[in-house]
């Protein structure tokens, strides 16, 4: 009788462990809004911070604004931080990478909770686990006190200090 109880408890423990492992795997699978049919093909530009340390940043231009690297995901990050997919990044012709106009995996999103669109999110759709999205901030916000969405951790570039 005891062996049946132990056997049932053993199977219950194995089942619980399997559910736990499956939930961990599911946590790595982020759900992002899909790429729209009218997606923008962004060409990366560059910006040199001559006022501080001559650092060179990649840029994204969107709606008449230039966005520069700003931060990474925070512990508060959730896929819901990516509000709307607006396009994808292609390499510019001056980069060392071959331009592949059919590659639409480096996606660009607006950020939820950012009504003024001061930030953009870049996400590589090919990376399924441990993906680390990058956040860009509009250059015209330098020196301004703006609200930073909870999903963003600044990387403390001199440009933004």
Count up the domains in the chain and report the number: 2
Claim to verify: residue 69 and residue 9 sit in the same structural domain:
no
Residue 113 burial (C-beta neighbours within 10 Å; 0-12, 13-18, 19+): middle
Best CA proximity match to 40, nearest among 62, 56, 22: 62
Write out pLDDT tens, residues 51-93.
888 889 999 999 999 999 999 988 755 667 889 999 999 865 5
Question: 21 or 92: which carries more pLDDT confidence?
Answer: 92
Claim to verify: residue 50 and residue 1 sit in the same structural domain:
no
Claim to verify: residue 23 and residue 88 sit in the same structural domain:
no
Claim to verify: residue 55 and residue 10 sit in the same structural domain:
no
In a domain, 83, yes or no: yes
The phi, psi pair for 16, rounded to 5°, reads -65, -40
Claim to verify: residue 64 and residue 26 sit in the same structural domain:
no
Q: Is the confidence at residue 17, as pLDDT, over 60? A: no
pLDDT of res. 120: 97
Residue 45 burial (C-beta neighbours within 10 Å; 0-12, 13-18, 19+): middle
Is-contact 107 78, C-beta < 8 A? no
Best CA proximity match to 92, nearest among 66, 65, 116, 59: 59
Domain that holds residue 142: 40-160
Claim to verify: residue 114 and residue 72 sit in the same structural domain:
yes
Q: Which residues contact 40 (CB under 8 A, 6 or more apart)?
A: 62, 86, 87, 88, 108
In a domain, 120, yes or no: yes
Write out pLDDT tens, residues 124-146.
888 777 677 899 999 999 999 99
* Mean pLDDT score, 28-56: 84
In a domain, 35, yes or no: no
Q: Which residues contact 120 (CB under 8 A, 6 or more apart)?
A: 60, 62, 67, 86, 108, 109, 110, 111, 135, 136
Claim to verify: residue 102 and residue 47 sit in the same structural domain:
yes
For residues 124 and 63, what is the distance between their CA atoms, to the nearest angstrom?
A: 22
């Amino acid at each position: 009788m005891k062996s049946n109880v132990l056997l049932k408890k053993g199977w219950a423990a194995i089942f619980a462990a399997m559910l736990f492992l499956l939930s961990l795997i599911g946590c790595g699978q982020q759900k992002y809004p899909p790429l729209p049919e009218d997606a923008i093909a962004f060409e990366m530009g560059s910006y040199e911070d001559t006022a501080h340390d001559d650092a060179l940043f990649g840029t994204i231009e969107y709606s008449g604004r230039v966005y520069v690297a700003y931060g990474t995901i925070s512990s508060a990050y959730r896929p819901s931080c990516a509000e709307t997919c607006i396009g994808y990044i292609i390499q510019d012709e001056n980069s060392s990478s071959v331009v592949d106009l059919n590659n639409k995996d480096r996606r660009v999103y607006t950020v939820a909770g950012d009504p003024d669109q001061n930030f953009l999110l870049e996400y590589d759709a090919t990376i399924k686990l441990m993906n680390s999205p990058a956040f860009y901030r509009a250059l015209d916000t330098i020196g301004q006190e703006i609200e930073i969405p909870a999903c963003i951790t600044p990387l403390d570039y001199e440009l933004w200090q």
